[in-house]
Each structure stands twice: as structure tokens, then as C-alpha cells.
């Protein structure tokens, strides 16, 4: 290879490495945006505590493009109920996860959400909804209305309890055509800070 050819080859190699570096940076920022539990509370009714919460999920062009390429995103809301103890760490009473999925349906040009049964990993068809825009879908995913998560009989009237919520979003299922692409990595995973409040029994 002559010097001109070698110089050109090195230039192409440098450009490729730079492009891969930019792609890696893009992947790391793929879930950029606000991710937080903005409000939450629990309300007892007929012996059961129902959870109400508002979560802000990130929205950007990378997420929109990934969904349209066939990616499924999974949204987890982790709930931990713990009993306060003065001289020791709090005792965990119960742990639950509300799991939801989001994907894009190309034929209808709509974003589809569904609840997932964590015991079987199967979606519950009766809890499937579709939305015209990604923003509408994320707003729905970030709204929890009267989700029964705790029995009052699990709590003692003489104790004080805490409820902690944490929202997470991560890459879910991939179509076979995308599994080999460098773009899809485990960088597609973020979690919010914990949101905690006291829950009198």
C-alpha cells in the first residue's frame, strides 16, 4: 500500500472510530430526560390500600426512533412497604412491582401500552390501550389510579410504616433483526430516586 493509500485508510479508520464513539455517547443518553416520581399517596378502602401516583418519564427522539424500529420498553414501579424501627433498620413488610410495557404498532401508527402479570410474564389483554402520540402514552404510563397493593390486615395499628416508590424504564423485547446491532445495549436502563412517605396503620 503506497503512502497515499495508507493515509486514506487511516483517515477512514479514524472516521469509523469517531462514529462508533458518537454512537456510544448517543446510547448512553438514549433515556435522557426527566424521570421521577412527582407525587404519590395511598388511600385505604374496604380493607385494602390503593396507590395513587404520578411519574414523569423521559421522552426524546432516540426513544421515539427506537420504538418505531421495533423496540419494546418496560416500565417498572417498585413499591416497598417497611415498618419503622427506632433502634434498628426498618423491617420490610411487603414488596411489589407494577410492570407495564410500551411498543409502537406500525400498521395503526399508534403507541400501545399494556400491564404485565409479573407472576407469568404475560400481558393482560384487558389492560391494553393505544395512543396517538408518544407523549400521551407516557402520560398514561405515568398515571397510577387506585392500584390495590396492600391489605390493611398486614399492618399493626400500633406501628408506623413507610411506603417507598421507585420508577424505572429499561429495554424490553427486541425484534430479531435488531439483536445484532451495536446500538442496542444495556445502556437502555434508568431508575428514579426513591419517593417515600409515612403510612399510619
Residues 129 and 180 in one domain: yes
Pair (87, 172) in one structural domain: yes
Residues 99 and 23 in one domain: no
Q: Are 163 and 126 in contact (CB under 8 A)?
A: no
Count Cβ atoms below 10 Å from residue 146 Cβ, excluding itself: 10
The answer, yes or no, to whether residue 125 has pLDDT greater than 60, is: no
Q: Tell whether 106 and 21 lie within a shared domain.
A: no
CA 121-123-126 angle, 5° bins = 150
Whether residues 56 and 12 fall in one domain: no
CA distance readout (Å), 168 to 21, 31, 74, 103, 141: 26, 11, 8, 16, 11
Q: Domain check: are 37 and 26 in the same one?
A: no
**Distance, CA of 87 to chain centre:** 35
Answer whether 173's CB lies under 8 Å from 133's CB.
Answer: no
| Distance, CA of 190 to CA of 197 (rounded, Å) | 22
- Name the burial class of residue 64, with classes exposed (0-12), middle (13-18) and buried (19+) by CB atoms within 10 angstroms of its CB: middle
Does 175 share its domain with 112?
yes
Query: The domain containing residue 169 runs over which residues?
Result: 33-200
Name every residue whose Cβ is closer than 8 Å to that of residue 79 and which is 6 or more positions away in sequence: 51, 94, 95, 96, 97, 98, 149, 163, 164, 165
Same domain, 158 and 73: yes
Q: What phi and psi, each to the nearest 5 degrees, are found at residue 43?
A: -130, 125
Q: Do 126 and 44 share a domain, yes or no? A: yes
In the chain, how many domains are there?
2
Evaluate if residue 157 carries a pLDDT over 70.
yes
Q: What global pTM score does this model have? A: 0.76
pLDDT digits (tens, 9 = 90+) for 41-80: 999 999 999 999 999 999 999 899 889 988 899 999 999 9
Are 184 and 171 a contacting pair, CB within 8 Å?
yes
* Cα 3 from Cα 8, distance rounded (Å): 9
pLDDT digits (tens, 9 = 90+) for 66-117: 899 888 999 999 999 998 877 777 789 999 999 999 999 999 999 999 998 6
125 and 174 assigned to the same domain:
yes
What band does 10 get if pLDDT is binned at 50, 70 and 90? very low
Amino acid at each position: 500500500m503506497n503512502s497515499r493509500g495508507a493515509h486514506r485508510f487511516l483517515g477512514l479508520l479514524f472516521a469509523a472510530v469517531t462514529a462508533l464513539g458518537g454512537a456510544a455517547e448517543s446510547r448512553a443518553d438514549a433515556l435522557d430526560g426527566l424521570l421521577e416520581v412527582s407525587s404519590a399517596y395511598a388511600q385505604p378502602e374496604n380493607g385494602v390500600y390503593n396507590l395513587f401516583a404520578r411519574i414523569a418519564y423521559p421522552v426524546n427522539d432516540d426513544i421515539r426512533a427506537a420504538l418505531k424500529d421495533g423496540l419494546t420498553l418496560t416500565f417498572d414501579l417498585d413499591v416497598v412497604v417497611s415498618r419503622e424501627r427506632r433502634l434498628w433498620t426498618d423491617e420490610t413488610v411487603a414488596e411489589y412491582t407494577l410492570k407495564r410495557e410500551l411498543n409502537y404498532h406500525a400498521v395503526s401508527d399508534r403507541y400501545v401500552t399494556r400491564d404485565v402479570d409479573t407472576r407469568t410474564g404475560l400481558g393482560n389483554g384487558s389492560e391494553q390501550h393505544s395512543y396517538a402520540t408518544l407523549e400521551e402514552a407516557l402520560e398514561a404510563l405515568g398515571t397510577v389510579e387506585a392500584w390495590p397493593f396492600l391489605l390493611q390486615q398486614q399492618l399493626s395499628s400500633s406501628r408506623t410504616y413507610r411506603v417507598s416508590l421507585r420508577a424505572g424504564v429499561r429495554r424490553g423485547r427486541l425484534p430479531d433483526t435488531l439483536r445484532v446491532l451495536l446500538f442496542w445495549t444495556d445502556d437502555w436502563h434508568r431508575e428514579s430516586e426513591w419517593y417515600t412517605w409515612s403510612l399510619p396503620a
